[in-house]
Chains A and B, each alone.
Chain A
Amino acid sequence: MHTVFREDEVFRIDHYLGKETVQNILVMRFSNGIFEPIWNRQYVDHVQITVAETIGVGERAGYYEQVGAMRDIVQNHLLQLLALVSMEPPAAFDDKAVRDEKVKVMRVLRRIAGDDLPMNAVRGQYTRGFIEGVPVPGYREETGVAPDSRTETYVALKLWVDNWRWEGTPFYLRTGKRLPKHSTEIAIQFRAAPHQLFSREALAGFEPNALVLRIQPDEGISLRFGAKVPVQGIRIRAVNMDFDYGASFMVDAPDAYETLILDALRGDATLFTRHDEVDQQWAFVDPIIKGWAEAPGGPAPYAAGTWGPAEADELIERDGRKWRKA
């Protein structure tokens, strides 16, 4: 491509970057004074990023068989979300500064390969099940899919961003097809209060604070915190403070592609992926794909309509944490 176009003439679309709520990650982090000071290892226990689809492979089987969830979603969308959430504040809101910071994060993503693979990466493939009460076929029963296909339709990863800000704070990423719910979200799970004044009984059912950026559907931001239940004595319950895009702005957000095409026409490349960013994404993803190809066995089966294979639960539960009910 570079034999014909200069890099600044190339606009690589990752349509996730055109979504209002994705752009809002930057606005939320860098236009507000209250979030950035706690956006680090000291206050954040871990981060969960979920891209869940209810749809199956549908008519894209021919394409999907070749790529799988790793290349289809993780390499681009999930790593983009990870970059936006974990990057350092850019010096300016322009294409160079923003993308420089994103590349820096990609560079320090700890590579997963060799013996680390099984402990940090899980792949799955859906089998027959139910979505919204309707029976759906398993992946290997879909038209155009090999009956012994080893293509993954689900990926869960545990990642480390090896820098000053995130040392010791894991990022858990998961994506899959035929999951129970269509939902994309980023959850920042904060640490528990350092010293707990209240009894275990009072705290039954309470979990530490979480800030959830909902990207779709129902775009918005929720902050979960504990509140006293209005009865005698102390009982603490998690409540959500909700910001709902639709109800606050009363306008429909433009389609992601509309936003991006307009930006491209204007020559603003901030929301497009630069070549070195893509290189880094592949540098992270390739060893995992290679490891899986060489490993015996295939993806772990999970029934359509469930939240992925049991191995994915183990991946996070090993650390004493659990996947959110997204």
Chain B
Amino acid sequence: MAQGVVVDTTFWGVRAEGVAALERELARLRRMESAHARELVRPIARASVLNLIVFADREEHARRAARSISDLALRHPSRAIVVLVDRGSREGVEKQIEMHCQLPIPDGARQVCYEQILVRARGDVDDRLASAVIPLLVPDLPVFLWWTGTPPLGSRSFGDLLRLTDRLIVDSADFARPEITLPVIARISEEARGRFGLTDLNWTRLTPWREIATAFFDVPSWRLFLDGITGLRVGFAVDMDGRDIHPSQALLLVGWLASRLGWRPLEALAPSEAGGLLFAIARPDGARIMVRVRPRFERGLDEGDIRGIRIQSTDERHQAEFVVVRQPTPRHQTATVFLDGERRWERTMPLPSPAIVELIGEELSILGSDRTYEAALGALVELA
């Protein structure tokens, strides 16, 4: 008899021997809830608007995801399938997949419950993992695949799961080597065209920065400076000892500007001092733009979060600088415009910093793909 993987059943629910047993258990739980609810004259609905597959290779990530799903259950009741696979394939570890399920009723909910399933695997199960997940999907509902960590392009289970997916959610903030991983995501995005949507939580985090950067050039007299950009600096946060360097968010911002403004690569992304990047890019008229992406320690910021943007530009007569700086407490950002070194305009705005659960919640309401994101990624790949 194989020794079971240790699973916390109070959190993940009872173990079921196979898919049929698991469905029976869920049906039993539903019926129990339903009977109980009838006594209280408030029938309970089996609410499921989507299938959500979460892939994690660490228990803490799996739990964090499960808690997010629970927080989201009222907005997006789902059949949530959390797949937890031991990292790497270890020789000698017996291949094993077991399933657990429960029917949690989220806090504050009276009539809705959602279904939570854990698929716990260990050993090298790459060839068979999907066969354990596919039969668990509720037919007819869209399938979201939330891949925590870097998606392993070329892995069979990733490919198999992707074939069922309507929308893939990744978080490039978790990518250890974005210069390698972002092009991988771009390749996935190309393959995805017309088949499934792709989204990156880190892209959603950029939204307020993109909004403010766009707002500068809504002013007619500053609009001309958009064509005369000469320099771009993006700062992003790192931890105190500068070990964890995650420039994905900053790079996406550069990619976005490049794709919107038609900038072309001049030279490859080159690392500069302290984990930053310094390189030149060409405007459509051929002029050079120096781009600097710089890591900086700042208390209270998550690694990889953008700290500030500085856009330098000239028209025929003036030098202009458009600056956005994140202010730590309370969270807000200050946008300033300098003309020939003189401060001309300044405004302070709240800077939302949504938690993962809010980001996911937003993404689950969208099914299509995000062309702007795809274009930004595409531009980045050309640079890399």
**Interface residue ranges, A against B (CB under 8 Å):** 54, 129-135, 180-183, 185, 201, 204-206, 210, 212, 217-218, 222, 224, 229-231, 235, 237-240, 242, 244, 246-247, 250, 305, 324-326
Contacts and interface: CB of A to CB of B under 8 A. Distances in A.
22 contacts: A131-B131, A132-B135, A133-B97, A133-B125, A133-B131, A133-B132, A204-B197, A204-B367, A205-B142, A205-B367, A212-B139, A217-B24, A222-B140, A231-B365, A235-B366, A237-B142, A237-B365, A240-B49, A240-B140, A244-B46, A247-B30, A305-B134
Interface string B117-148: 00001000101110110110111111100000
B5 interface: no
Nearest to B196: A205
Nearest to A303: B131
Nearest to A240: B140
Contact of A250 (B24, B31, B164, B365): B31
Contact of A247 (B23, B46, B137, B167): B46
A240 B137 CA distance: 14
A325 B46 contact: no
Interface in B23-62: 23-24, 27, 30-31, 34-35, 46, 48-49
A36 to B, nearest CB: 23
A131 B19 CA distance: 10
A158 to B, nearest CB: 21
Contact of B131 (A132, A182, A242, A246): A132
B128 A134 contact: yes
A132 to B, nearest CB: 5
Interface string B347-384: 00000000000000000011111000000000000000
A51 to B, nearest CB: 14
A218 B31 contact: no
Contacts of A181: 19, 134-135
B165 to A, nearest CB: 11
Interface in B316-368: 365-368
B200 interface: no
Q: Which 4 A-B pairs have the closest CB atoms?
A: A205-B367, A204-B368, A133-B97, A133-B132
B303 interface: no
B171 interface: no
B152 interface: no
A244 B30 contact: yes
A229 B142 CA distance: 13
Contacts of B167: 205
Contacts of B127: 130
Given A133-B129, A135-B128, A218 B27 contact: yes
Nearest to A244: B46
B166 A205 contact: yes
B128 to A, nearest CB: 4
Contacts of A135: 128
B274 interface: no
Contacts, number: 105
Nearest to A54: B135
A326 B139 contact: yes
Interface of B: 18-20, 23-24, 27, 30-31, 34-35, 46, 48-49, 97, 121, 125, 127-129, 131-132, 134-135, 137-143, 164, 166-167, 197, 365-369
Contact of B128 (A130, A235, A237): A130
Given A132-B18, A133-B132, A325 B139 contact: yes
B49 A237 contact: yes
Given A210-B140, A224-B140, A240-B48, A182 B365 contact: no
Given A237-B367, A242-B46, A130 B131 contact: yes
Contacts of A129: 131
A311 to B, nearest CB: 18
Contacts of A54: 19, 135
Contacts of A217: 20, 23-24
A325 B27 contact: no
Contacts of B166: 205
B168 to A, nearest CB: 13
Contacts of A247: 27, 30-31, 34, 46
A325 B365 CA distance: 21
B97 A218 contact: no
A191 to B, nearest CB: 17
Nearest to B367: A205
A315 B18 CA distance: 32
Given A132-B19, A242-B46, A246-B27, A212 B140 contact: yes
Contacts of A212: 139-140
Contacts of A222: 139-140
Nearest to B49: A239
Given A132-B132, A132-B135, A244-B46, A182 B27 contact: no
A180 B134 contact: yes
B240 to A, nearest CB: 39
Contacts of B366: 229, 235
A222 B366 CA distance: 23
A133 B46 contact: no
A244 B34 CA distance: 11
Contacts of A133: 97, 121, 125, 128-129, 131-132
